[in-house]
Amino acid sequence: MAEQETTFDVIVVGAGAVGENAADRAGRSGLSVALVEHALVGGECSYWACMPSKALLRPGAVLAAAHAAPGADAAAAVDVAAALARRDEVAAHWDDSGQVGWVDSVGITLLRGHARFTGPRELALSTDGGEQRLIARHAVIVATGSAPVVPGIEGLAEARPWTSRDATSVQHVPARLVVLGGGVVGVEMATVFADFGSDVTLVVRGDRLLAAAEPFAGEAVADALADLGVTVLFGAQASAVTRDDDGVHVTLGDRTLHADEILVATGRRPRTDDLGVETLGLTPGRAIEVDDTLAAASVDGGWLFAVGDVSGRTATTHQGKYDARVAGDVVAARFGPDDAAREAERDAGPWSRYRATADEDSVPQVVFSRPEVAWVGHTEASAREAGIDVRVVPYDLANLAGASVLSPDYTGKAQLALDDARGVIVGATFVGPDVAEMLHAATVAVVGQVPLARLWHAVPAYPTLSEVWLRFGEAAGL
């Protein structure tokens, strides 16, 4: 039987949150768009990452807030079965029909199967029913995400380690858990399993947690994890792992940790290893590097775009979706029927809808640890590295009336990174209970490059944690 061939104006490979957004924006121009997915529409975030992990963290966070507020019921404990049931709901029971309904409703063609490039603008789609040839008339947007890295530690791969997927879809909570890696997944999952009653050991090869954040953030999280009963081992490098009927055994220098499961949380790699990118002159396993229009400059013809984790440019859903909106708009303008849009895109500069300028140094991140850690833009160290004459403005959040309302024992800290020469904020970090929702004000200030002297007139309500902005102004000399 002859191989079937189908042509679309635009093909998006990978229907995670990022691919969905790129397809939607590109399709709004009237271009025909196909979205290819070999697993669940909605990707990692919906079923194995952001959403289930936050559902698992929520009961412990609510209880911690109750325990900190005199008058609330401090006797309550996490109901693990109910927490897992709620997680199942949040992950839509790993059924993507809701998301498929949305794809249909916006006129995108969903193709189920695994896509591999066979050449420029050409893909082979492998399905249960055989192989199909796909041609993109104008553009391909790659949104294939990332996969966890399992380090080459002796015996680790054979010991059937958990990755984040096993942790977020857990059905039976292990009595003893070793977590390898002190990054975002490591601290969030150590918190969950400590809440659920596991005996957790967090193995960190460096000397701090959350190395991308301000050092005081990692210190606060390490202290809190210790209070929760987690053993945090710094400067610890696993050299061998075995599994037998008694569980897993992790060699760390001259000591051995014994546990029921080991969770590998040592970072992620772009998913380009089974994508046929070698037919385009790219290296499998490497990120697809892109410019501010999300186009892959190293591939001739201007038809290849990459967004989300696979680009190596973003590592969160929100920032990936931002890039997806830009990429979709660029594709729609360059290849769609609207001449005015084509002209506008050609003449576009930074901070236009056609350039992902915020990726440079205005990226927000929230870690849903306890305490929460939220930051945007530069840390003090990264600002100095970038050559900015930075002045830090720290503030102890416990001094705020809003903090004392939350708890008499509220502990938290915030810090601005100020570009003194320009009088604008280039970074902000918040650490403490309930700081996640405070981040967006800082993101607006950083992206808007609003002078601190003008922010002085943005009056925060009393008594809220946002009064930190008033204190920042005073501390900066206003």
Ligand X SMILES: NC(=O)c1ccc[n+]([C@@H]2O[C@H](COP(=O)([O-])OP(=O)(O)OC[C@H]3O[C@@H](n4cnc5c(N)ncnc54)[C@H](O)[C@@H]3O)[C@@H](O)[C@H]2O)c1
Per CB under 6 A, residues contacting ligand FAD are 13-19, 36-39, 43-45, 49-50, 53-54, 114-115, 143-145, 164, 168, 185, 271, 275, 308-309, 315-318, 320
If contact means CB under 5 to 8 A according to the sort of partner, which of ligand X, ligand FAD, none does residue 143 touch? ligand FAD
If contact means CB under 5 to 8 A according to the sort of partner, which of ligand X, ligand FAD, none does residue 151 touch? ligand X
# residues near ligand X by CB under 6 A: 22
Q: Cα–Cα distance between 201 and 178 in angstroms, integer?
A: 5
Compute φ and ψ for 446, nearest 5 degrees.
-70, -50
Closest residue (Cβ) to ligand X?
183
User: Whole-number minimum distance, CB 198 to ligand FAD, in Å?
Assistant: 17
Paired strand residues for 304: 140
The secondary structure of 314-345 as a DSSP string is --SHHHHHHHHHHHHHHHHHHHSS-HHHHHHH
Which residues, numbered 267-306, are part of the site for ligand X (CB under 6 A)?
Answer: 267-268
Select 366 or 428, whichever has its Cβ closest to ligand X: 366
Which residues, numbered 338-357, are part of the site for ligand X (CB under 6 A)?
Answer: none
- The region that residue 248 occupies, defined by phi over 0 for left and psi between -120 and 50 for alpha, beta otherwise, is beta
Asked whether the beta carbons of 407 and 69 are under 8 A apart, the reply is yes
- Does residue 155 bind ligand X (CB under 6 A)? no
Residue whose pair of structure tokens reads 């992990």 in the numeric block: 53
- Taking alpha carbons only, the member of 87, 81, 103 closest to residue 21 is 103
User: Whole-number minimum distance, CB 265 to ligand X, in Å?
Assistant: 5
User: Whole-number minimum distance, CB 98 to ligand FAD, in Å?
Assistant: 15
Q: Cα–Cα distance between 222 and 405 in angstroms, integer?
A: 25
Paired strand residues for 5: 133
* Structure tokens belonging to residue 79: 């109901």
Which residue in the set 21, 29, 198, 266 belongs to the binding site for ligand X (CB under 6 A)? 266
Compute φ and ψ for 212, nearest 5 degrees.
-80, -15
Asked whether the beta carbons of 35 and 12 are under 8 A apart, the reply is yes
- Taking alpha carbons only, the member of 342, 328, 341 closest to residue 140 is 328
Select 161 or 320, whichever has its Cβ closest to ligand FAD: 320
Select 206 or 460, whichever has its Cβ closest to ligand X: 206
How long, in residues, is the chain? 478
Which residue in the set 33, 180, 295, 330 belongs to the binding site for ligand X (CB under 6 A)? 180
- Does residue 188 bind ligand X (CB under 6 A)? yes
Stretch that binds ligand X, among 9-17, 105-113, 250-258, 264-272 (CB under 6 A): 264-272
* Structure tokens belonging to residue 249: 């055994």
- Does residue 43 bind ligand X (CB under 6 A)? no
Residue whose pair of structure tokens reads 């490098």 in the numeric block: 237
- Taking alpha carbons only, the member of 285, 279, 272 closest to residue 299 is 279
Select 115 or 213, whichever has its Cβ closest to ligand X: 213
If contact means CB under 5 to 8 A according to the sort of partner, which of ligand FAD, ligand X, none does residue 367 touch? ligand X
- Does residue 211 bind ligand X (CB under 6 A)? yes
If contact means CB under 5 to 8 A according to the sort of partner, which of ligand FAD, ligand X, none does residue 183 touch? ligand X
Residues lying near ligand X in the complex (CB under 6 A) are found at 151, 180-186, 188, 205-206, 211, 265-268, 315-316, 365-368
